[in-house]
Amino acid sequence: MSEEIKYDRQRSNNFIAVGSENSKSIDLYYEDLGSGQPVVLIHGWPLNGASWEKQTAALLAAGRRVITYDRRGFGGSSKPSIGYDYDTFAADLNAVLTTLDLQKVDLVGFSMGTGEVTRYMGKYGSVRVRTAALIGTLGPYLVKTADNPEGVEASVFEGIKAAIKADRPAFLLDFLHNFYNYDVTGGKLVSERVVDANWNVAAQASAIGTLKCVDAWIEDFRKDILSNDVPTLIIHGDADRILPPDATSRRQAKMIKNVKFVELPGGPHGVLWTHAEQVNKELLSFLK
């Protein structure tokens, strides 16, 4: 089979095949816009690639080729019952990069998407990667253990799973309010309509995937981080209620040799929207 025919079969109608479950293909929905140096944007939970709209516009205006894709279980991608772990997510990212034959790519992850960036380099190395940007990172390791005292008690994540099982739509609305620190930013930096739009995306995601992703959050990325040998930008809101910087970004920044660490004063978790201008300025400056 020629490479051209193989490429066409793997990638058709804005979908990239990454596996199968029983009789059905598992396909990732993606968008590939603009031209120039490629940048891949990897979204957070429980949203989709459209959550990058403010960054996509800025990157396109700066002359970049912008690729977004929806994680399996979310957005326009397939909603299988399997594969909600970071080894699989990294393999999915690798399928995107290899199918589109992306070289010297800038990988930008937000929240859960930072896990794909970190695990990808742990598994596949940085031969295709020019730089990495981690916004609202979940690394290096969220669970409190004897050798990770800065982590969060495991019971917290069990409570999240119980709340999702009990009433997923209600949990998602509460989550989004904390995602934006809505009691502080609502009507100022983010509107109720934005929260509504996010909730609609989240509610339509796979119920199975939404739940199973919680176990992925608590995977250990400490060894993967050691494989990160590219220039790296970390951006984090210092008022983040979802992934507090003391347990995440401030620790991860110390583990990366070539890193620029930016904290956004008053920034909630959802800084892609509330602090888009600052995020875009830092991101564009770094990617130059």
**Exactly one of 27, 70, 106, 240 is catalytic; which is it?**
240
Active site residue 240: yes
For helices 207-217 and 154-179, angle between their N-to-C axes, nearest 10 degrees: 120
Q: What is the DSSP string of 114-149?
A: HHHHHHHHHHH-STTEEEEEEES---S--B-BTTBT
Distance CA 229, CA 227 (A): 6
Residues 6+ apart with CB under 8 A from 67: 30, 31, 32, 33, 38, 39, 40, 41, 96, 100, 102
Active site residue 12: no
**Exactly one of 111, 224, 236, 275 is catalytic; which is it?**
111
Q: Are strands 24-33 and 65-69 parallel, antiparallel or unpaired?
A: antiparallel
242 backbone φψ class: left, alpha, beta (φ>0; ψ -120 to 50): alpha
Active site residue 43: no
Rg (CA), the chain: 18
> Quick check: helix, strand or coil at residue 260?
strand
**Exactly one of 43, 236, 269, 275 is catalytic; which is it?**
269
* Adjacency order of strands within the sheet including 259-264: 11-12, 15-21, 24-33, 65-69, 38-42, 105-110, 129-135, 232-237, 259-264
Catalytic residues: 111, 240, 269
